[in-house]
Amino acid sequence: MTATDIRNETSVPVSSPLAHRWSPRSLDGAHVLSADDLTALGEAARWAPSAMNLQPTRFIVARRGTDTFAKIAESLAGFNQVWAPRASALVVALAETERDGRPVRWAEYDLGQAVAHLTIEAADRGLVTHQMGGFDVDQLRSVFRIDKALTPVTVIAVGQYDPTADIDEAVRERDLEPRTRRELDDLTLILDI
């Protein structure tokens, strides 16, 4: 099974990367992310819309094997530390929640949208992404001397899915669990069509 064998069940077809996107944890610990792939993920995020085009999105990007990668990995919560260090890159997604001393109202919304674009570009390239809220924000703040105007919101593991990866069985099993979603009707408060 490869990442692109996954197909998210939809009532009508959706575009290919949306149909194939998922967040596995069994990653190929030897995969090297190409410079083109890394740049394309950044470009996908860069062209996301944002409120008033403020672009309050920042990233710390590190390939596996670098000091920065190790520092990000050390900030991860227990379970995430079990699998995420096999990622080809770790990306800290930060929202510029304050500009010129004033709050940026939609900063986290805009960041989420930019990250969504990144994940879809990754899926289109046969890569996988796994976003994590489980990390120590204060630790990252202090290690990277992050300005108070910026808020680390998630860490994203980017890599190559490998169902045969030499990993904890519990991690492999999580990947094989059925993936579920609420029905579309449950998301729609009013449908006047």
DSSP 36-101: HHHHHHHHHHHTS--GGG---EEEEEEETTSHHHHHHHHTB-HHHHHHGGGSSEEEEEEEE-EETT
User: Shortest gap between Cβ of 19 and ligand FMN (angstroms)?
Assistant: 12
Q: Given the DSSP bridges, would you call strands 128-132 and 57-63 parallel, antiparallel or unpaired?
A: unpaired
Interaction with ligand FMN in 123-162: which residues (CB under 6 A)? 131-134, 154
Nearer of residues 52 and 170 to ligand FMN, judged by Cβ: 170
Nearer of residues 51 and 77 to ligand FMN, judged by Cβ: 77
The backbone torsions φ and ψ at residue 25, rounded to the nearest 5 degrees and listed phi first, read: -115, -10
Name which of 155, 161, 180 is nearest 122 in CA terms: 161
Site residue total, ligand FMN (CB under 6 A):
9
Nearer of residues 80 and 160 to ligand FMN, judged by Cβ: 80
Binding mask 55-94 for ligand FMN (x = CB under 6 A): -------------------------x--------------
Report the interface residues with ligand FMN, using CB under 6 A. Answer: 22-23, 80, 131-134, 154, 179
